[in-house]
Chains A and B, each alone.
Chain A
Amino acid sequence: MSQPGIQISDLSVEFAGGDADPVTAVSGVSQEIDAHRFVSIVGPSGCGKSTLLNVVAGLQQPTAGSIMIDGKPVTGPDRRIGLVFQEDSTLPWKTTTDNVAFGMRILGVAKRDQQRRAQEMIDLVGLQGFEQSYPAMLSGGMRQRVALARTLAQQPSVLLMDEPFAALDQQTRILLGAEVRRIWRQTKQTVLFVTHDLSEAILMSQQVWVMSYRPGRIIDVIDVDLPDDRDASVVSTPAFNELQNRIWSTLQQEAMRGFVAESTAA
């Protein structure tokens, strides 16, 4: 019997929009993720992926619907949930260790535990030797590792990642993607991962949700039946290709709709 990890029920988010028309970013989304599963969301730009993630994280109130994490409702920012941002969120005045310990420090974890757990997480994300470095001395990929380590150090049961590799180059994204998968197989958090990269979504996850252009709905759910210990070579297999084609055929129409809507609006 599987346990519930994230339950999204009938979720809608509307932005008032000031003098412009209100924008429905997320519309009637109901989905469940079993605990310890890895799910990716793909969708055209501006469809509401970040909005959905922010609501799941408790950072934003939904217009309608509700979120449950491990069977208990989310009412606001919540320590059961860790969020990795798209932007570089390392604090430039802190060393790697202090950046990783930042969340624990705010949460009031005992000093000794902070240090020990920060070191564990630094080892986990492969930043040994850079404990005393400041972000300015680290590459973009390493800074994202710091942000990931900081999030993991808060020991969330749910890990939300909003295009965490979007600002990185292709090689770094592939390497870091493999790292995230390795870490997930070790820590077994429930993961909801946003990306606009199709093959990244398939490569990383056990299930892919395809989101429509505004108003954002989940229009397809695809189970990824690839081996759990897959690596980047899986992209050349027929199974991977088939998945990619199926997702792309759905996504293509939505991307087109989005493209047309944005260019006529402009």
Chain B
Amino acid sequence: MTAASVHTRRRPRINVPAGSFLLLLLVILLWWLAAQLSFVIPTPADTVGALVSNFGDADYRRHVEATAAAVLVAFLVAGLLGVLLGLALGLSKWVRIIFEPLVVGFNGVPKIVLYPVLLPIFSLSGSKIVMGVLFGLFPILINVAAGIRDMPAVYWKLARSVNANWWQVLTQIIVPAIRRPLLTGVRLAASLSAVGVVLAEFFSTRFGLGRVVLRAYGNGNYPDMMATILLLISVAFIVSLLLWRWERKTR
């Protein structure tokens, strides 16, 4: 086996359409042009350089880990809670009658205004997770509940006629039947819990990328600032894209 074939086999095969690739090039070009015009905006090369050197710094990695861990926990909690509440809302007429107005109303609230209220209760590290959960919860909850309500009535009749127990109904009918809205909810929750966490970090935190961005801005260190923004955008972009592709592949 030649070295070249080993190389191509190891590389993950991502089939990016040519159009997206060209668009990416265009964005980089525009960015580079903007950097020439304004001294506040660092060039793409400087930004990537700053990002690489940042990752050499243990302190920076600690910020990355803090944000990543908070987003992950927030996403998982939002997912679990969202599915459970969505099931309750979709399955029970009474839960729906009582809680639907509450859900709709609260979904429209700018949740970040609650941050100062959360701080004394959940402390610095807990509050941003709660904020991430609050952001991520609603898309899952709403999509799951709507998915269940849109399920054809004959599925329930089928389940009853074969005498399926509740676990079988959940795993073999409900979950596969709502797979598409569920995945849409998961994708939205993934990005929105990141929004919640980073937004909270902008206001107050000890460790986290939101704080890093703000501090770099305060110090006039624009390459550092852009590097972290680039990191946040790229990760969120790729995660959303992968989830979206998965969503579209499901039947």
Contact with A along B133-168 (1 / 0, CB 8 A): 000000000000000000011110110111110001
Complex Cα–Cα for A81 and B250 (A): 33
Q: Is B251 an interface residue (CB 8 A)?
A: yes
A81 closest partner in B (C-beta): B161
Q: Is the CB of A89 within 8 A of B162?
A: no
Complex Cα–Cα for A82 and B250 (A): 31
Q: Is the CB of B251 within 8 A of A154?
A: no
Partner of B162, one of A76, A92, A154: A154
Q: Is the CB of B251 within 8 A of A77?
A: no
On whether A106 and B162 interact (CB within 8 A), knowing A134-B251, A136-B251, the answer reads yes
Contact with B along A122-161 (1 / 0, CB 8 A): 0000000000001010000000000000000010000000
Q: Is the CB of A91 within 8 A of B161?
A: no
Complex Cα–Cα for A79 and B152 (A): 23
B161 closest partner in A (C-beta): A83
Q: Is the CB of B152 within 8 A of A87?
A: yes
Partner of B157, one of A79, A85, A102, A107: A85
Complex Cα–Cα for A129 and B250 (A): 23
Chain A residue contacts of B177, Cβ below 8 A: 91, 93
Q: What's the nearest-Cβ distance from chain A to residue B223, in Å? A: 49
Q: Is B172 an interface residue (CB 8 A)?
A: yes
On whether A89 and B155 interact (CB within 8 A), knowing A79-B163, A83-B161, A134-B251, the answer reads yes
Chain A residue contacts of B116, Cβ below 8 A: none
Q: Is the CB of B157 within 8 A of A59?
A: yes
Chain B residue contacts of A102, Cβ below 8 A: 162, 172
The main secondary structure of chain B at its interface with chain A is helix
Q: Is B179 an interface residue (CB 8 A)?
A: yes
Q: What's the nearest-Cβ distance from chain B to residue A233, in Å? A: 34
Q: Is B49 an interface residue (CB 8 A)?
A: no
B179 closest partner in A (C-beta): A93
Complex Cα–Cα for A20 and B27 (A): 64
On whether A77 and B176 interact (CB within 8 A), knowing A88-B154, A136-B251, the answer reads no
Q: What's the nearest-Cβ distance from chain B to residue A121, in Å? A: 15
A76 closest partner in B (C-beta): B163
Chain A residue contacts of B162, Cβ below 8 A: 77, 102-103, 106-107, 154
Contact with B along A71-115 (1 / 0, CB 8 A): 000001111011101011101110000000011011100000000
Chain B residue contacts of A194, Cβ below 8 A: none
B180 closest partner in A (C-beta): A93
Q: Is A67 an interface residue (CB 8 A)?
A: no
Q: Is the CB of A89 within 8 A of B251?
A: no
Partner of A93, one of B152, B164, B176: B176
Contact with B along A46-80 (1 / 0, CB 8 A): 00000000000101000000000000000011110
Complex Cα–Cα for A81 and B161 (A): 8
Contact with A along B77-96 (1 / 0, CB 8 A): 00000000000000000000
A83 closest partner in B (C-beta): B161
| B interface list, Cβ under 8 A from A | 152-155, 157-158, 160-164, 168, 172-173, 176-177, 179, 250-251
Q: List 11 A-B contacts (CB under 8 A).
A: A59-B161, A79-B163, A85-B157, A88-B154, A91-B155, A93-B176, A93-B177, A106-B162, A106-B163, A107-B162, A154-B162
